[in-house]
């Protein structure tokens, strides 16, 4: 997992490309962990199951 500061993420949004590629990014603010960015494509099935448990899965197995 890559760790970046909020300021550096705001200045260089190209860092988000690594998240799209599947790498997790931990964003810190004032030296403390604030947000974790994960790839929506990689974790789509897990997120659907977690947030919509009563709906049938739309992702292919």
59 occurs within a structural domain: no
11 occurs within a structural domain: yes
pLDDT in tens, the chain (61 residues): 889 999 998 898 888 888 877 788 899 999 999 999 887 776 666 666 666 666 555 555 5
Domain CATH for 22: 3.40.1620.10
Residue 58: what pLDDT?
58
Residue 22: what pLDDT?
79
Residue 54: what pLDDT?
63
Residue 16: what pLDDT?
84
Residue 44: what pLDDT?
63
DSSP code string of 2-51: EEEEHHHHHH-GGGHHHHHTT--EEEEETTEEEEEE--TTTTHHHHHHHH
Q: How far is CA 38 from CA 20, 25, 55, in A?
A: 8, 7, 23
């Amino acid at each position: 997992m890559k760790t970046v500061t909020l300021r550096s993420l705001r200045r260089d949004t190209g860092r988000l490309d690594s998240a799209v590629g599947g790498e997790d990014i931990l964003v810190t603010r004032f030296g403390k962990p604030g947000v974790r960015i994960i790839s929506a494509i990689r974790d789509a099935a897990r997120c659907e199951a977690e947030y919509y448990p009563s709906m049938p899965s739309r992702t292919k197995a």
